[in-house]
């Protein structure tokens, strides 16, 4: 009986320790997941990645597939100013989803942290549409 009580007590301790460990792990992991943005604006048009030209009132590559972390750089070659405004997908409603207006020759680079399908438009010309598929 004494032994049984000891075993029960040992089991309880181990469960308590495991539960405590899981809680600690959750505390360490969850805040970083909550903080991570689905995408980032990258300054200074980095080397590599994919390129999309904006011209003739259109995103010249309307659909593109990238890996997580692979940058996409848009270059406006149109005489009119345009932007990249992420409207559907993981970036929907994000405070940085509406990109700055790009004049002719300006570049804008995004990289994506979260896989998914991101649909975007140009804010003043919403008939200009594009789709970004981000793969893990
Ligand atoms: Cu536009």
pLDDT in tens, 32-90: 445 589 999 999 878 889 999 999 999 999 999 999 999 999 999 999 999 999 999 99
Ligand 1 center to 89 CA (angstroms)? 20
DSSP classification of residue 90? T
Ligand 1 center to 92 CA (angstroms)? 19
Ligand 1 center to 136 CA (angstroms)? 30
Read off the pTM.
0.74
* β-pair type (63-67, 125-135): parallel
Ligand 1 center to 125 CA (angstroms)? 5
């Amino acid at each position: 009986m004494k032994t049984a009580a000891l075993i029960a007590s040992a089991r309880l301790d181990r469960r308590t320790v495991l539960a405590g460990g899981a809680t600690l792990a959750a505390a360490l992991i969850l805040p970083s997941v909550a903080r991570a943005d689905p995408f980032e604006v990258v300054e200074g048009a980095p080397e590599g990645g994919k390129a999309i030209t904006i011209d003739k009132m259109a995103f010249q590559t309307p659909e593109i597939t990238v890996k997580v972390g692979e940058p996409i750089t848009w270059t406006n070659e149109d005489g009119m100013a345009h932007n990249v405004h992420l409207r559907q997908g993981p970036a929907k409603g994000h405070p940085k989803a509406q990109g700055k207006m790009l004049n002719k020759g300006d570049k804008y680079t995004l990289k994506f942290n979260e896989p998914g399908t991101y649909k975007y438009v140009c804010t003043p010309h919403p008939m200009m549409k594009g789709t970004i598929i981000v793969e893990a």
